[in-house]
Structure 1
Amino acid sequence: MSRSNRADGEATRGRILEVAGEFLASKGLADTTSKEIAERAGVNMASINYHFGSRGGLYKAVLAEAHRRLIDRDDLDRLFASNLPAHRKLHGLIGFLVDGGAGAARWPIMVLGRELLSPSPHLASLQQEEIFPKLRIILPVLHEISTIPADDPVLWRCLPCVVAPCIMTVLLSRAKPGLDEVSGPMSREDLIDHLCRYAIGGLEAIGRAHGNEA
């Protein structure tokens, strides 16, 4: 395959992903058809099958792309391999989540929200290929802040307690009427600082309680 043909193929694949993401965010998996995705993307059905294998393959790819846009593995690797203290790494992580959820395209966070609220058979693949590998990168920092042993199941329970408030805050901020209309406007840095203090306070409190139980 020539370089131009390969570039054209990548552009077509990206266009299909973008259109599919928008449809899936607004209508959900059950009410989204491959036909309408193909028509909006300006391709035929064979093109979807060529790039993704099937409707299910397309949905799986949309989920993976949505998660990568929310939080990218390479960004995580660079941040958590740095010499920053644990609190600053957590601050950076929350910054990734806020920026990823507040991006120009709304569909990634909406698609992931739909999948988590009404799981499909593809959630297991998303967990194994995107979610769990990223969580394993994050765990050592939560261990350092909370002092809970890295192999303790309690530490895993802390993960959604850190991530979920970030996602929900971004979702509520993008709603109409938005969270800002109730709580007042907040800059990006103020929001990240607020969420980071909340997360650190929770981690330290759980760590103290867990230590007392031991």
Structure 2
Amino acid sequence: MSKVKRGARADGEATRARILEAAGELFACAGFAETTSKAIATRAGADLASINYHFGGRDGLYQAVLVEAHRRLVDVATLQRIAQGSPSARDRLRRLIEHLVQSISDDAGDWRLTVLAAEILAPSSHIQVLFQSEVPQKLSLVLAMFEEITGIPAQDPALLRCLLSVAAPCLVLLIGRRGLPGPLQEIRQMPQEAIVEHLHEFAMAGLQAIGRKTVQAQSE
């Protein structure tokens, strides 16, 4: 009996994975609005009932695709390794930027980052799932790093503004995966090391400047 249960569970997980992969590929190609459940089921070699069973419908499936895409960009385990990898917050920030740039630049045909870029460029209500499941723990790890660099307490709104400044260039690189014309494509052709070095130095200078300004204002 237990062997049957394990086999059924494995089959179910395999079906779920096929559906997720098929949906991601189609969402990346045609977008959420133009992708039907029938097309996803056909591509996955599954029936429509399987989509409802594993994801609760097309909306739930799209949200699962977004979560997988966000994890593909950076997952909690990777952030934890970076956070524990060096006693120097400066070095940890560089490693984080290096990881993001490499994730964005590699695997040009990866549907996960293509879907995530499209959602960021034109957010839908489904993006809320990321703020419910993926963002909170990752955010706390990054803010702790910024707090160490700037001396600004994690609960201070100034630290969130720092997050915006550091994250924005990486988001622009991610959106650039969609082939938008202009200088962004020239930047994407530059060596990764040069991009990482620039973003790191720019981020450190900004964080340290805001840190000095904020601490000085609080002491007055």
TM-score of the pair, normalised by structure 2: 0.85
Q: Which deviates further from its counterpart, 23-32 or 73-82?
A: 23-32
Identity %: 47
> Could you give the per-residue CA deviations for residues 135-186 of structure 1, whole angstroms, max 9, x where no partner exists?
1111111111122222201101211221221232244367276858635843
Aligned residue pair count = 214
1:33 maps to 2:36: yes
> Could you give the per-residue CA deviations for residues 74-94 of structure 1, whole angstroms, max 9, x where no partner exists?
111122133431011111111
Work out whether residues 91 and 196 of structure 1, in 8 Å CA contact, stay in contact via their aligned partners in 2: yes
Q: Choose the corresponding residue for 1:138, options 126, 139, 142.
A: 142
The equivalent residue for 1:85 is 88
Work out whether residues 16 and 37 of structure 1, in 8 Å CA contact, stay in contact via their aligned partners in 2: yes
CA distance in 1, matches of 2:42, 2:117: 25
The equivalent residue for 1:68 is 71
The equivalent residue for 2:191 is 187
Q: Choose the corresponding residue for 1:155, options 159, 163, 167.
A: 159
The equivalent residue for 1:204 is 208
CA distance in 2, matches of 1:28, 1:126: 18
The offset of 1:34, in angstroms, is 0.9
> Residue type of the partner of 1:205?
A
Structure 1 unmatched ranges of 5 or more: none
Q: Which deviates further from its counterpart, 43-52 or 106-115?
A: 106-115
> Residue type of the partner of 2:199?
L
CA distance in 1, matches of 2:61, 2:50: 11
TM-score of the pair, normalised by structure 1: 0.87
Structure 2 unmatched ranges of 5 or more: none
Change (3 A) 1:111 1:46: same
Q: Which deviates further from its counterpart, 34-43 or 169-178?
A: 169-178
> Could you give the per-residue CA deviations for residues 27-84 of structure 1, whole angstroms, max 9, x where no partner exists?
2222221111111122111111121111111011111100000001111112213343
1:8 maps to 2:11: yes
SS at 1:43 equivalent: coil
Q: Which deviates further from its counterpart, 193-202 or 95-104?
A: 95-104
Work out whether residues 145 and 204 of structure 1, in 8 Å CA contact, stay in contact via their aligned partners in 2: yes
